[in-house]
A and B are shown apart, each in its own frame.
Chain A
Amino acid sequence: MIRLLMRDLKLAVRAGGGFGLGLAFFLIVTVLVPFGVGPGGALLARIAPGILWVGALLACLLSLDRIFQLDFEDGSLDLLATAPIPMEGVVAIKALAHWLTTGLPLTLAAPLFGIFLNLPGQGYLWIVVSLGLGTPALSMIGTFGAALSVGLKRGGLLLSLLVLPLYVPTLIFGTETARRGAEGLASSTPALMLAGITLGTLALLPFAAAAAIRINLR
C-alpha cells in the first residue's frame, strides 16, 4: 500500500498537471475576486474566508477525474482489483495521494493568498486549521465521485454535478470555522463538526467508493 502511495505521488509530480494546476487555479480565483468585487479592503476582509474556501474547493474538484481515469485506461486499475490488497485500501490510498498533492498544498498556500484578500490577522491560523480539517473530506468525497464516474466518456462534467452537492456540509462548516476565527469569535463548534464530517467520510466512503469501482470493473 505504501508503494502504491509512492507510485501515485511520483506520477502526480512527474507527469505534471494535477500537482501545480490546482494551486495555479486557486491563485487565479483569489486574484480574480478583487477584480470582480472591487478593491475595497473591508469588503474583501469580510468575504476572504469564504473565497478561500470556495477557491480551494474548486481547485480540488479540478483534479478529481485524474484519480482513477488514467489507471482505468491503461489497465492498472484491473491489476489493483486483483491484487492481494482490499479495494477499500486502494481507494483510501488514492484519496490520501490526492490530498497530499492537492489538499495539503492548498492548505499551506491559503494564508499566502489570504494577503491578497486582506484577511484579518487572527484569520490566518483559522484558515489553515479549517482547510487542514476539511480538505481530507473533500478528497475522500471526490474519490467516491470519481469512482462512480470512472468508466464514463463524459465523466468530467457529470463528476462535478455529482460531487458538488455532496460538498455542501463540508463547505458550510469549513467557512463557518474560518469566518468565526477571522472575526475573533469562538469557532470550536463548527471546527468540531467539520472534523466529525471528515472522520465520518474517511470511515464510511472507502466502502462506497470500492463498491462503485467493483461495479464499474464488472
Chain B
Amino acid sequence: MSLWEYANPKKFMQTSERLLPYVAVLTAVCLLVGISWGFFFTPDDFRMGSSVKIIYIHVPSAMMAINAWVMMLVTSLIWLVRRHHVSALAAKAAAPVGVTMTLIALVTGAIWGEPMWGTYWAWDPRLTSFLILFLFYLGYMALWQAIDNPDTAADLTSVLCLVGSVFALLSRYAVNFWNQGLHQGASLSLDKEEHVSDVFFFPLLICLAGFVLLFVLLVLIRARTEIRLRRLQAIEMRERMG
C-alpha cells in the first residue's frame, strides 16, 4: 500500500468515489457550524462591531488561495518527475478553485476595508501580493486553455508553475520592500501565544477546516471530471480509428 497507487486513474476513481460523500457531508457540517457559529453566536468586537465576522470567510479563503498554489506546485513536480496523469489533472483542477479563493479573499477584504480603513483598496504588501498571485493564476489557466495537446499543456504549465512559484515568492518580498503595510500581521500562527480571542478563534478553526474540506471536495470532483473527459476523448479516438 503506497501513495503512488492513486496514480492509477482507475484506483483513483474508485477511492475518490467512495470518499466523496463523506467529504461532502463533513464539508457541509463544518461550514454550516463554523459560519453560523461565527456569524450569530459570537459577540461583536468592541472596535470593529459586527464587521469583524467577515474574518470567517476572509482568512480561510486567503489561506486556501496560497495552499492551492502550493498543491499545484507539488502536483506539477510529481508530473514532471514521475509522469502520473492524475497528478497533472489534479493541478489543472485546483487552479480555478484557487483563483476563486483568491478573488473571495480580495473581495471580502475590500468589503471589510471600506468601513475599517476607509478605502476599498490600498497598495499594501499583502493586498498587492494577493493581486499578483491572482495574475499568476490567470496566466496559468490561460496557458492550459491555449494548448491543444494535453501532454504538452501539462508539461508547459508545470514548468510555468515552478518558475512562477519562485517569482511569486520574490514578488512577495519585493513588495514588502516597496511599501509599508496597512494590513495587520498574521492573525494565526503556531509559535505565538494568542492573536485572536478564544471566542472568535474556535469558530474560525472550524471554518478553516471547512474550507480545506471544501477545497478537497471541489478538486476531487473536478479531477474526476477531467479524468472522465480524457477517457471520453480516448474512446472517441478509438472509434474513429476502428
Contact = CB atoms under 8 A, between A and B. Distances in A.
Interface of A: 144, 148-149, 151-152, 154, 158, 161-162, 164-166, 168-169, 172-173, 176, 190, 193, 197, 204-205, 208, 211-212, 215-216, 218
Contacts of B168: 165
B202 interface: no
Given A158-B142, A168-B167, A148 B156 contact: yes
B226 interface: no
B143 A158 contact: yes
B139 A168 contact: no
9 contacts: A144-B163, A161-B135, A161-B142, A165-B168, A176-B177, A205-B163, A211-B159, A215-B152, A215-B155
Interface in B139-165: 139, 142-143, 146-147, 152, 155-156, 159-160, 162-164
Contact of A168 (B138, B147, B174): B174
Interface string B165-188: 011101100110110000000000
Contacts of A151: 147, 152
A173 B174 contact: yes
Contact of A162 (B143, B170, B177): B143
Given A148-B156, A165-B135, A216-B152, A197 B146 contact: no
A195 B105 CA distance: 34
B137 to A, nearest CB: 9
A208 B167 contact: no
B132 interface: yes
Nearest to A215: B155
Interface centre among B142, B170, B171 (most CB of A within 10 A): B170
B136 interface: yes
Nearest to B157: A148
Contact of A215 (B159, B163, B177): B159
A162 B147 contact: no
Interface of B: 132, 135-136, 138-139, 142-143, 146-147, 152, 155-156, 159-160, 162-164, 166-168, 170-171, 174-175, 177-178
Contacts of B152: 151, 215-216, 218
Contacts of A173: 174, 177
B158 to A, nearest CB: 9
Determine the main DSSP class of B at the interface with A: helix
Contacts of B175: 168, 172
Given A149-B146, A162-B160, A218-B152, 13 more contacts: A148-B143, A148-B156, A154-B146, A161-B138, A161-B142, A165-B135, A165-B167, A166-B163, A168-B132, A169-B170, A169-B174, A197-B170, A204-B166
Contacts of B167: 165-166, 168-169
Given A165-B132, A216-B156, A208 B171 contact: no
A148 B174 contact: no
A169 B171 contact: yes
Nearest to A212: B159
Nearest to B145: A158
Smallest CB-CB A-B distances: 3 pairs: A169-B174, A165-B135, A169-B170
A136 to B, nearest CB: 16
B150 to A, nearest CB: 12
A211 B80 CA distance: 11
Contact of B139 (A162, A204, A205): A162
Which residue among A151, A169, A204 has the maximum number of chain B CB atoms within 10 Å of its CB?
Answer: A169
B177 to A, nearest CB: 7
Given A148-B160, A152-B147, A168 B177 contact: no
B138 to A, nearest CB: 6
